[in-house]
Amino acid sequence: MDALCFYYTEHELSNINNDKYNIVNFFKMPTEPKIVDTYIRKGVKRPKFEIVRIIGTVLDKNKHKHSISLLTVDGAVNVKYYDGAFYHYDRQISQKNKDGSKTVLEKSWFTRGNCLLLCGFRRGNTFKPYRYVDTIYNHTTTLVEGITLDGELLLNTERVQVNE
């Protein structure tokens, strides 16, 4: 996968329980987000969209457009982040040693081959990672660290913290 950017065998995420993790097929979603409610922010009434989850493997990232390409079981999806969220998940976390060298504690979550579980909504042909205050998911992006033999996901929602 890392070298070819496609799975020549079955996708590694094809045997997980989509119902348990509320994962939907991006390509079966309507192109415009489904409005489920409205809310008021700074005196303006805004639509509240239905938040869904997709899962896939990172293919590529574009730092200038704050976007990544995600290979789901059903096909490739363009994911567009807000700039602050993109930089939070893209940065490499390292710690300075006493001798002046650095030790990498965690690489970017957008490294090719990493599996991500995202929550947000579809707008056009793009998936927008997003969550509201009352959304049941605490984070827009979750790193899949492993998959058990029975299809359970080992998930990580927090980046490594550096003590300076």
Range with lowest mean pLDDT among 9-13, 26-30, 94-98: 9-13
Q: Who wins on pLDDT, 21 or 9?
A: 21
Query: Alpha carbon 144 to chain centroid distance?
Result: 10
pLDDT score, position 122: 96
For 36, phi then psi, to 5°, come to -110, -15
Cβ neighbours of residue 18 under 8 Å, at least 6 residues apart?
A: 24
pLDDT score, position 164: 57
The answer on pLDDT for 132 being more than 90 is yes
The answer on pLDDT for 148 being more than 90 is no
pLDDT score, position 100: 86
Residues 120 and 112: beta-carbon distance below 8 Å: no
Angle at 117 between CA 109 and CA 26, to 5 degrees: 125
pLDDT score, position 58: 93
Distance CA 145, CA 128 (A): 22
pLDDT score, position 55: 94
Mean pLDDT (the chain, rounded): 89
Range with lowest mean pLDDT among 7-21, 27-41, 122-136: 7-21
Q: Who wins on pLDDT, 8 or 85?
A: 85
Q: 64-119: per-residue pLDDT in tens?
A: 999 999 999 888 999 999 999 999 999 999 988 889 898 889 999 999 989 999 99
Domain range 26-156, CATH class: mainly beta
Task: Please give the C-alpha separations between residue 96 and each of 100, 122, 130, 140, 154, in angstroms, as whole numbers.
Answer: 6, 40, 33, 29, 29
Q: 6 falls in which pLDDT band (50, 70, 90)?
A: low
The answer on pLDDT for 10 being more than 90 is no
pLDDT score, position 150: 83
Query: Alpha carbon 30 to chain centroid distance?
Result: 20
Segments making up each domain of the chain, as ranges: 26-156
